[in-house]
Amino acid sequence: MRRGAAAGSARRRAGGPGTGDRLMPRRTRVELAQIAAWDNLECALWAAARGKHGRPEVAAFLAAAPAALALVQAALAAGRLPVGSFRRFAIRDPKPRVIHAAPFPDRVAHHALVRLLEPRLELALVPTSFACRPGLGAQAAILHARECARRWPWYLKLDVEHYFPNIPHDRLLALLARRFKGSVLGLIRQVLATHQAAPGCGLPIGALTSQHFANQYLGEADRYALARPECRAHARYMDDLILWCDGRAQGRALHGALSAYLGETLGLRLKPPCLMPSAAGLGFCGMRIYPGTIKLGARRRRAWSQGRRRWEGRWERGEIGAAQLQRAYDSLWSATLPADSRSLRRAQLVRRPAPDPGPAP
């Protein structure tokens, strides 16, 4: 009895049905005038340009910022994007994908829109959804998963098949219309219309709005999973969903229920599930998570090794100094957190010693 009450309490704390929905405002009004306000656009420009000032497109925009920002303002006030197209390119790491990069004026518009939507979208998410959220992110997701692995003996890992290309526009719009009202809905419709992987489906991977809309769309599945009696704990990072349970039978029941729910309610399909004991290790957010430790996944190990060779090669060619090389080492090391990577780094240094920068000046 006490255990069931504790599980119910955990679901309520995680934002299960009957808690967050009742406390959240029904709908938030957002108008085009708010999105196109000059102070909002200035903040959006700063966010879109952060870390990218050296890129020609960004530098050109910043060089004529008042006039360029005025064009973005006029487009948003009219309920459209400044350009409304994408540049497509393919990547292969960590897996083959087609990325759609918006022109910089559109990226500023995306930031301006998300700044107004994000507070309300945040209210609709459960605390154990970690992507695209201030103060959370991949490291918080990994640490939460380790705590769940220590507590619950089995996990069910679910991944949506071709998630971004298969999100139905009509169902996503219906969901967002339950969160917002006002002229913003017309702009959202225009944003969605700029990309269709198939008629009426798909979000472009790489756009800021896509990340937030996709994260919001699976929020309904989070609440459904947490309401299931078999679910002991939950974590989600975008379309990677982990549910912890007491045993194999409970995991199979969860998979059947979630598969049916996603197909009927959200129009999505799951990849084959992974149902394993927590002690066997869980691959999540680039890490291998065990109840007692966190190890780097194969891709993270490869990225660390390749990054080290790349920066050391630049130092040996005289392209960077010793101080820059040390900062690169620090950056590579921080990308391994929160994993215990000491033994891996020590073994790498034995196989390939670090270059000797020579005597200090």
Q: What is the chain's pLDDT, residue by residue, as a tens digit (361 residues)?
A: 344 444 444 444 343 333 344 455 588 899 999 999 999 999 999 999 988 888 888 898 888 889 999 999 999 999 999 887 788 777 776 677 778 888 899 999 999 999 999 999 999 999 999 998 988 889 999 999 999 999 999 999 999 999 999 999 999 999 999 999 999 999 999 999 888 888 888 898 888 999 999 999 999 999 999 999 999 999 999 999 999 999 999 999 999 999 999 999 999 999 999 999 999 999 998 889 999 889 888 888 888 888 888 888 888 888 888 888 888 888 888 777 887 777 777 777 777 777 765 554 4
Residues 191 and 235 in one domain: no
Residues 153 and 269 in one domain: yes
Residues 118 and 131 in one domain: no
Domain boundary among 183, 212, 241: 212
Residues 201 and 232 in one domain: no
Please check whether residue 358 lies inside any domain of the structure: no
Q: Which CATH number goes with the domain that contains 257?
A: 3.30.70.270
Residues 53 and 108 in one domain: yes
Range of the domain at 332: 295-351
Residues 173 and 66 in one domain: yes
Task: Count CB atoms within 10 A of the CB of residue 238.
Answer: 19
What contacts 123, CB < 8 A, 6 or more positions away? Answer: 20, 24, 25
- pTM comes to 0.82
Burial class of residue 217 (count of CB atoms within 10 Å of its CB; 0-12, 13-18, 19+): buried
What contacts 135, CB < 8 A, 6 or more positions away? Answer: none
Q: What is the tally of structural domains in the chain?
A: 3
